[in-house]
């Protein structure tokens, strides 16, 4: 099966979930390929939200994308006090959380505390399944086994607790059983080639009609694209991820 066929299969498996997605579901949009493909797939059911400090990269890319789709983007502009309250809540949920994880979970906590909808859709799992992390692209790791184990043993249970504490339900379409089984065990070389990663999901974006500025955008994790990581570094000087 070539990359186009695999991308078409991914789009079909995402589309098959339409009936299980409630209308008026919040979608956390970063302007990256993962959440943007979800917007393209479920745009008639989801309400896009973007979180970040004013002028952050995620807000800029998400605004451009929603303009392309003629959709209203709901922007949650963060301030220092909002971020501070959110990361304190995350640390109450998981006192052993690493600095890196604290960053993206703070974004998720802010979403759970501020979106109106009861269901929150995220692109969770796409980086693990489709080899999106820098450690895959630069050759430090050529297997997603450890990343998947962390996702299911640590990250997802923590995010379910965060969501539940705010009365929300987490929706993660990339973690649908058939997608997980069809794509997570494919060889490294199918997902990564030279400077290109997430080959299947980027091709799916092209087929779905996403603009090139989204398809070719390098991965920028939510804690960085939102500007939140920079603030956390000031709050925790000298702290490093574990």
Query: What are the chain's domains?
Result: 3-230 (3.40.50.620)
The pair of structure tokens assigned to 64 is 């451009």
Q: Find residue 171's DSSP bridge partners.
A: 121
Characterize the bridge pairing of strands 46-52 and 74-77: parallel
- The answer to whether 131 and 192 are in contact (CB under 8 A) is yes
- The answer to whether 168 and 229 are in contact (CB under 8 A) is no
Handedness of CA 171, 177, 179, 184 (dihedral sign): positive
Of the two residues 84 and 67, the one the predictor is more confident about is 67
Matching residue, tokens 């991820």: 241
pLDDT over threshold 80, residue 209: yes
Give the tens place of pLDDT for each residue, 193-206. 887 899 999 999 99
pLDDT over threshold 70, residue 238: no
Matching residue, tokens 């600095």: 99
Give the tens place of pLDDT for each residue, 94-139. 988 887 788 889 999 999 999 999 999 999 999 999 999 989 988 8
pTM for the model: 0.90
E strands, 152-194, are 169-171
The span from the first CA to the last CA of the chain, in angstroms, equals 39
Using CB atoms within 10 Å of the CB of residue 218, give its burial: 0 to 12 exposed, 13 to 18 middle, 19+ buried. Answer: exposed
């Amino acid at each position: 099966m070539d990359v186009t066929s695999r991308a078409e299969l991914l789009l079909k498996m995402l589309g098959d979930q339409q009936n299980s997605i409630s209308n008026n579901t919040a979608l956390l949009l970063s302007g990256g390929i993962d959440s943007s493909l979800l917007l393209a797939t479920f745009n008639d059911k989801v309400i896009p939200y973007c979180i970040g400090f004013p002028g952050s990269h995620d807000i800029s890319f998400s605004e451009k994308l929603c303009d392309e789709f003629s959709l209203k983007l709901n922007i949650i502009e963060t301030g220092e006090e909002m971020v501070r309250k959110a990361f304190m809540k995350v640390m109450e949920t998981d006192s052993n959380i690493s600095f890196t994880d604290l960053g993206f979970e703070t974004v998720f906590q802010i979403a759970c505390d501020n979106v109106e909808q009861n269901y929150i859709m995220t692109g969770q799992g796409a980086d693990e399944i489709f080899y999106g992390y820098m450690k895959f692209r630069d050759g430090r790791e050529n297997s997603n086994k450890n990343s998947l184990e962390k996702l299911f043993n640590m990250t997802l249970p923590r995010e379910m607790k965060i969501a539940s504490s705010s009365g929300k339900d987490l929706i993660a379409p990339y973690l649908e059983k058939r997608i997980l089984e069809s794509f997570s065990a494919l060889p490294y070389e199918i997902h990564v080639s030279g400077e290109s990663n997430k080959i299947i999901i980027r091709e799916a974006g092209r087929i779905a009609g996403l603009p090139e500025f989204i398809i070719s955008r390098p991965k920028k994790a939510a804690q960085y694209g939102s500007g939140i990581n920079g603030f956390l570094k000031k709050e925790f000087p000298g702290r490093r991820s574990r």
